[in-house]
Structures are given as C-alpha cells and as structure tokens.
Structure 1
C-alpha cells in the first residue's frame, strides 16, 4: 500500500501506523473466528451470517459499554493486554442477562498517538474476551486523536450483538416469592467504581505499587484484574434448569442492579453473611472509611452475577455452575414486597 501523507503526519496522524496496527492485530482476531463470520477485518463493515434454524422467534440483543477510569491504572502500569477483556466483559455480561448468546463484537480505540504494538496489545485482550465469551471480533476502529488526549493515553469502548429465542428469553416474568438467589463470584473490582477506588488509594505512580497484608499482589496488579466473563456458565445453566432472572452486578452495586431483574411486588432478600466479600473490598472500606451501604451501592463486593431459580432447582444449578468453573453461592431468596433489596 502506497498511502502516505507527510502533511497529515506532521499534524500528528500517521496513517501508516494504522496499517501496521491492523497487520499486528490480525493474529489475535483470527482466534475469535466462529461459525457465521463472513468477512475478515479491514473492510468497511463486519459481516456475520446468524443461524436461525433452531429458533422459533429469533431476537437480536445488543449491548455497549466502555472501561471507564480503570484505564488510568493500565497507563500507570504500562500494561495493556487485559483491559480489552474488560471492554468485552461489560457488554457480553449484560447481553447474557436476558439469555442471549453473544455473536460478534466490535471495538473502538481512541488513542493520542498510534503506537502499533500498543494497539495490538489492547486488541489481544479484546480477542481474549471474545474467546472467553464465544463471540467473534468482526471489526473495529482505531482513531488517532492528537491534541485531544495525551499521546500515551487512550480510551476503549465496544459493543456486541447477541441472539436469543424469544420463548426462552429470561425476563423475570416467572419470578415468584420463594425463588432462590445464587451468586457467581467476581474476580475483583471488575470495571466499575474506579473513580472512587482511585480517590480511596490516591492512585499515582508510587501508590499503585503499594502492598498490603490483605492482598496477595501489589495494589495496582490486584485492581487491574480483568472483569470475569459469565457467558458460558449462564448459557449452560439455562440448558439445565429454568433460570427465572439474571442481574449483572456492575455500577450501582447490589442496590441498583438487583432490582432490575425483579418484577413489581417482589424484593430480593440477601443474607449478608453469605456474600463472599473479597479482601480488596474490605481494604477499600477500611482505607477510605466508606459506609457499608455505599460499598454495596457502588461495587460488586465479590459477586459479579446473580441468578434466580426455583428452590427445587438449586442443587442442580450449583452443580452445573461448578462444572463450568463457577464456585457459586446461595445468597438469599425472593420475597414479597417492593423494597428492591434488603439485607438480613
């Protein structure tokens, strides 16, 4: 390719760096190829041919999100190969809440200066997230933004499209008093609340390397742990039992997200002692002098996803989740009322 503009490069945009980025990321994108992928990256649109043959009423489900200020930690640690997992996770974990299987993902990377190796490192994480969730990376965009952001910083966002069969979708309509709430453990803070996290620890070039007795890794490494992806365990659970409702515990924590899976007249009663609170959350509460309410209203506290099943299906559900790598815990039950979430 002989495309090159000396004038554009002088303005801060090197188009040849973009071409090199695409070449470097191709091996990562190739890992995500699944049935239905029609085109490779590099075209004007990503092509995908979904298979509807076993569905009564196929519904496309979409989700979009970014990573937020967790990116600041990646900059400080100069580690860019996991942040892409977060980008995918925040989208696919939302989509699977209604029982949809993610099909494909597209990313958007805005960067101060396109360093091909860094971009490829970011995309390697995005590809890993796609592999973990069983969807294809069919395209994306890298935009060099000189003057808009520092040359060593970037932002990552993306969106995914999934598919569900309408008669099998999870919408909470069958939820009833007496159903049991099962929690799937989180891997850490995931990708929410990092503005508060950074304030609590006064995150900078020095403090990010602090060690604490409560943590088995330095602070920055602990906080940068990528968001856990729950797609495959939830889909496997749907094949085994009737899943009444699912909630992805993201920004807003328990108080904001659990009510989203409840219908009117029902409340989630959580046994506080059953919540597998991770050491990082206990440390944050102590260092930041944060109230327990605010902790549960901001963070996942060690539970990244909550499902509701009939009490007769609890043992089977725990067994299936365990077989799919999830050490699930019974958190509580659904009761009558309109209080959203209550703790016992």
Structure 2
C-alpha cells in the first residue's frame, strides 16, 4: 500500500500565509479611516471603540447589508473598485434614516481561493466608503472556503454601528400633512434591482461598450451607491427634518411609507425631477411597466427628507451646498385609500 502525502490546510485549498499577507496590506487602509474613539487596530479578535462623550441618553443604531447580484456584473467586467463603497453605503444610509451618526464598520469578505490583489481592491473601496461617511473600518473577516465559491468569485457583507441621542431619533412621528417631500438624487441604480438588470442585459444582448448619453453602460451600472451622511448631517443643522427614507429595493413605493405615520401618504410629482437615462434605457429594453419600474428601482431618488413646507427651499439649498442634487418632489397628505405613495401622472 502506497503511503499518502500528509494533508495540510494549504493542500485543502486554504492559504494561511496569503491571508496574513492580506491583513498586512489592508492595515494602512483601515488606519486611514480611524476617528476619535478607535482603540487598537486591525488584527485582534474584536474591534474596540469608545463611545463619544456628550450624549445624555446615547442610543446605538446598527444595520447590515450586502450588494447583491451587482457583484456578478463587477466580476464580469473585472471592475471591483466601487463595490466596497456600495457595501458601506447600503449600511450607513440605512442607519442614517434613524438620525444616527455612523461610528464604525465591519466587513465580511468570503471567497473560494484568496486573490490578495482583488481582495485589497475591494477593501480599498470599503475604506473609501468609510472615509466618505466618517466612520472607522474597525475590523472584519476574510474567509477562504474552497468549494463554496467558483474560482474568482467572492461575496461581501457589512455591518455598521452609529449613535444618536435618544430624544433626536427620527421616527416619522413629527410628520404633518402639508410637509414637503425632498428628493435627493441617486448616482444610478445603487445596489438594487440587479437580478432584473441582468435579465434585461440578456434579453437586449447589450454589451459593456453600449453608450447611454455618451457614457458606457457598464460604468453607469457599476457606479457606486451615493453616501448621504455628511449632506444629511448638514441638513439637520439647517432645517427641521421630520423623517428620512433610504430608497433601496422597492423604490419610493415601498420605502417612503416606512418612514411615515399610518395616517399620512406622500403625493409625488414625477415631473419635478429628470429620471436618469439609465432607467429609461432599462425600461425600454426590458419592456417593463412604469409601475414595475417604481417598485424595483429608485428612479433617480436615493434618499428622501421630509421637512416643513416653509423650510423646503432652505433644505434644497443646504443639500446643493453639500454637493447633492435635490428637488421638492411632493408633499404629505392624509392617507385615504391605504396607499402610502400616490404619483401624479
């Protein structure tokens, strides 16, 4: 009977040395995001963060998310620089809706076989998203799992924690009939609806070099999700914000009512902003109804703020000063038929 070679973790497909080398390469990326409160650094069993002083009744707000099948387009196009920004954006924009200031972020990167260069590119994007939102990349996990993922594929998940004074939590309870609905522009499809987008691409036979208004389709589809943290923080210092809504999967139809009291609805005028050409192209190529488009995509509005009607123009100007595009897209009305959003078509 022939002797068998002894087994090792590496022969099973896991390269511990590569994982350690990646940790060394991403330490400077994490350090570039550090803010007051960070204790220690990357490499420990857990990330440590001291809560900021000055809060009477501090409340921690947490959120977790991924980037869905947008990852598959990034893999096909071999463009991974923005995916990490997407990951952070989907988490911090969610906790922002409660009025929270993001404090720290954790990521989970899973793959079949670790490609250090690819992983570093993705994590560099995560660090960029953390810098944009003012939170620290406090730690994370890189999991190499042979047989779980096809060669070259990876998956991402993230987890954000923020803080808000208990008395300043946004619940939507302050909303009143007649309040203005302020729409803040998205940067594209963000990280939602990509299972449908991929089907549209198959049906249309479109390739990466198709141009839409002079921009390559692949660039439009992989444009990172907009992070609204700093603009909203400035807005809340300028006007009274009654509620916020992050417009993700489900569009305005599903997400805006989540931030409103049960007795109020939003009356939205779609003529108040220009739907981006990307969405028009997707609708035409997929022969998708307007109703379905509104239930899947953000239609060019990535975040909504509800403010008193008298403060609407001040709110728009504050957002413009922060580098955002913003529009008064409607107002709150008494809910009549159970629908949380009504479009004036």
Asked if the contact 2:272/2:328 (under 8 Å) is kept, the reply is yes
Q: Deviations over 1:250-282 (max 9, x none)?
A: 001111101101101101000011133110000
* SS at structure 2 position matched to 1:22: helix
CA deviation after TM superposition for structure 1 residue 207, in Å: 4.0
Q: Is the 8 A contact 1:200 1:287 kept in 2?
A: yes
Match of 2:179 in 1: 179
Q: Is the 8 A contact 1:52 1:58 kept in 2?
A: no
| Residue 267 of structure 2 corresponds to residue 266 of structure 1 | no
Confirm whether residue 256 of structure 1 aligns to residue 254 of structure 2: yes
CA contact (8 A) 1:185 1:276 kept: no
Aligned to 2:283: 285
Superposition map of 1:119-134 within 5 A: 119-134=119-134
Q: Retained in 2: the 8 A contact 1:259–1:340?
A: yes
The aligned counterpart of 2:234 is: 236
TM superposition shift of 1:203: 8.5
Instruction: Name the counterpart of 1:39.
Output: 40
CA shift for structure 1 position 239? 1.1
User: Which residue is 1:51 aligned to?
Assistant: 52
Q: C-alpha offsets along residues 40-59 of structure 1, whole Å, 9 cap, x if unaligned? A: 10000001001132x22110
The question of whether the paired residues in 1 share the 8 Å contact of 2:111 and 2:148 is answered with no
- Distance across 2 between alignment mates of 1:95 and 1:70: 22
- Corresponding position of 2:3: none
Distance 1:264 1:18, change over 3 A: same
Matches within 5 A, 1:1-344: 7-53=8-54, 55-202=55-202, 207-212=206-211, 214-337=212-335, 338-344=338-344
How many equivalent residue pairs? 337
CA distance in 1, matches of 2:126, 2:78: 17
The answer on whether the counterparts of 2:179 and 2:306 sit within 8 Å (CA) in structure 1 is yes
Say what the alpha-carbon RMSD is for the aligned residues.
Answer: 1.5
Question: In 1, distance between residues paired with 2:202 and 2:273?
Answer: 27
Does structure 1 conserve the Cα–Cα contact (< 8 Å) formed by 2:174 and 2:242?
yes
The answer for unaligned runs of 5 or more in structure 2 is 1-5
CA distance in 2, matches of 1:304, 1:316: 20
8 Å contact 1:56–1:167 — kept in the other structure?
no
Tell me by how many angstroms 1:249 deviates.
0.3
How much has 1:208 moved relative to structure 2? 3.9
Structure 2: how far apart are the matches of 1:90 and 1:299? 14
Mapped partners of 2:47, 2:278: distance in 1: 39
The answer to which of 163-172 and 287-296 deviates more is 163-172
Rounded Cα–Cα distance in structure 2 between residues aligned with 1:100 and 1:235: 9
Separation in structure 1 between the aligned mates of residue 238 and residue 269 of structure 2, nearest angstrom: 26
Q: State the alpha-carbon separation in 1 of the partners of residues 59 and 214 from structure 2.
A: 44
User: How many Å apart are 1:216 and its aligned residue?
Assistant: 2.4
CA shift for structure 1 position 309: 0.2
Contact 1:60-1:163 at 8 Å conserved across structures: yes
After TM superposition, where is structure 1 displaced by more than 6 Å over at least 4 residues in a row? none
Q: Secondary structure at the match of 2:63?
A: strand
Return 5+ residue gaps in structure 1 as ranges.
none
Give the C-alpha shift of residue 322 in structure 1: 1.1
